[in-house]
Amino acid sequence: VPITSYKAIVVYDGTHYYGWQKAEPHKTIQGEIEKAIAQTTGENSLPEAASRTDRGVHALGQVIRFTLEKAKSPQQLHRSLNAVLPCDIRIVQLEECDFHPTLDAIGKKYFYSFDLSPVPDPMRRLYAWHIYLPLDLEKMINASSHLVGTHDFTAFTNDSSVTITPEKNPTCTLQSIEITPEGILIHGNRFLYKMVRNIVGTLVYIGSGKLSADCIPNILVSRDRKQAGVTAPAHGLYLHQVLY
Amino acid sequence: VPITSYKAIVVYDGTHYYGWQKAEPHKTIQGEIEKAIAQTTGENSLPEAASRTDRGVHALGQVIRFTLEKAKSPQQLHRSLNAVLPCDIRIVQLEECDFHPTLDAIGKKYFYSFDLSPVPDPMRRLYAWHIYLPLDLEKMINASSHLVGTHDFTAFTNDSSVTITPEKNPTCTLQSIEITPEGILIHGNRFLYKMVRNIVGTLVYIGSGKLSADCIPNILVSRDRKQAGVTAPAHGLYLHQVLY
């Protein structure tokens, strides 16, 4: 059977989801999109994503691929999927395109959002990490320069199997880390499990004085998760863009 | 009994509330703050607000007054109230001050937030009105100039009793209306029931061509609610600031 492949860019508010990956009986982004495809086309087709975002993580530019046995026009499919998807998941672009959502990706950008107001902003409580302590952004920017480049990021992943599984590659290249009072934008070629949130938590610890400004090289070399800072909460994280 | 009076500035996400005013068994902002006062001081004290925001309306600068028989330090009270209030209601400022929250107010500013992106932004679905049709902001700005100044705003209120109750004053003065792609900021000395949302709905109808660009003077003169546009939805509206 010839199949038609579609590429879509999806934005979602992860607050009420158990993450991207289908995990019944939980509500997941993958599960909701699968349901929407079935509802509008009658076909069972499990979408694949560029990034399996964790529970509570948001996406501004998730990229997914799914296939249909009976081709539909992208415009029609786009409209009908959005008509049945929950309003916290929106497809912003859809085209006919065959590609591999993870293997073809040459990089990803994640944004981590801060709320630095003295009293947490109620409107942002689900969309940014409120930080009580004053942050020394200059210190954080200096420290982040030691993370940019190609390194073994074992110390920054919560996947402890990295250290004992030779097939798992702990080496990633970060192209840039941009730090502003609004948050941190990280561009890398690939990311380990919870790596962004561990980098953010570590930089926030440096900015608030809980870790010394020059600790990054030692943490990287240690390959020990316990040396790095806290895992930043999920609700501040956005999959910003996937680059192909 | 001598009483101590407090003034507080409150920010809230109105999504999950039935509005400011206590209306049991519904969850209301007034009810939650009353409960928090009782919990932290043991006193029954109903707070009064500058604006009785409707169900689903947000506040960036609601001003409230409440009294205590046993005085507490503002710093301590501020901290302890925020510790027990739900996280979608935050006190951002609190001081000892006697005043009348409505009568002493010389003006108010409301902000109405738009989402003009082609596909509604899931992260803003509870905080902005998504408008599908392209808006001609220039037309809206021109039309809004006919609303600025002192007018009988009967045509812009959903309180139909205004027309038959001589004690009700339908005259308001709007100091300014600022229109940008982000939304509309309206500054006035006082507002009738649903007046901001009716002004916004009417301006959006003008911007999208559903009402003619020069209709405002006729609508004002008509004193007929049916002549004006739709009532904009509650979730885009923010009580922005109360001026004393």
Question: Of B154, B157, B112, whose CA–CA distance to B130 is shortest?
Answer: B112
* pLDDT 10s digits, A105-148: 999 999 999 999 999 999 999 999 999 999 999 999 999 999 99
Taking CB atoms and an 8 Å limit, are A13 and B58 in contact across chains? no
Nearest to A12, CA basis, from A90, A80, A92: A90
**CB-count burial class (<10 Å; 0-12, 13-18, 19+) for B2:** exposed
pLDDT in tens, B97-133: 999 999 999 999 999 999 999 999 999 999 999 999 9
pLDDT tier, A149 (very low <50, low <70, confident <90, very high otherwise): very high
Share of chain B above pLDDT 70, in %: 100
pLDDT in tens, A178-194: 999 999 999 999 999 99
Contacts (Cβ under 8 Å, ≥6 apart) of B74:
B6, B94, B95, B96
Q: Which one of A87, A89, A122 has the shortest CB-CB distance to B88?
A: A122
pLDDT value of residue B1: 73
Strands (E), B122-221: 129-130, 149-152, 171-180, 183-188
Alpha-carbon distance B212 to B79, whole Å?
51
Joined tokens for residue B152: 């009988």
What percent of chain A is modeled with pLDDT above 70? 100
Q: Check residue A107 and give its pLDDT.
A: 97
| Cα–Cα distance for residue pair A199/B234, rounded to 1 Å | 39
Mean pLDDT of chain A: 96
Q: State the pLDDT at residue B65.
A: 98
| Interface pTM, i.e. ipTM | 0.87
Residue the block writes with tokens 């879509």: A8
For residue A225, pLDDT over 80 is answered with yes
Query: Band of the pLDDT at A42, cuts 50, 70, 90?
Result: very high
Cβ B125–A87 below 8 Å, yes or no? yes
pLDDT, position B67: 97
B58 to chain A: which residues are within 8 Å by CB?
123
The pLDDT score that the predictor gives to residue A176 is 98
Model confidence at A164, in pLDDT bands (50, 70, 90)?
A: confident
Residue ranges of chain A whose CB lies within 8 Å of a chain B CB: 11-13, 58, 82, 87-92, 118-123, 125, 127
Nearest CA in chain B to A57: B123
- Secondary-structure breakdown of chain A: helix, strand, coil percentages, each rounded to the nearest 5: 30, 30, 45
Rounded mean pLDDT of B29-52? 98
pLDDT at residue B160, rounded to an integer: 82
More confident residue, A45 or B167: A45
Report H helices in A67-194.
74-84, 137-144
Q: How many Cβ atoms are within 10 Å of B77's Cβ, its own excluded? A: 23
pLDDT (average), residues A69-85: 97
Residues in A touching B120 (Cβ below 8 Å): 87, 90
Q: How confident is the model at residue B163 (pLDDT cuts 50, 70, 90)?
A: confident
**Across all residues in chain B, what is the average pLDDT?**
96
* Cα gap B243→B187, rounded to integer Å: 10
pTM to 2 decimal places: 0.92
In the predicted model, what is the mean pLDDT of residues B24-37? 97
* Contact predicate B115/B121, CB 8 Å: yes
Contact across the interface for A92 and B127, Cβ inside 8 Å? no
Query: Residues B36-48: what's their mean pLDDT?
Result: 97
What whole-number distance in Å separates Cα of residue A54 and Cα of residue A197? Answer: 11
Taking the CA of residue B233 and the nearest CA in chain A, the distance in Å comes to: 16
Given the structure tokens 């609700």, which residue do they identify?
Answer: A235
pLDDT classification of A34: cutoffs 50, 70, 90: very high
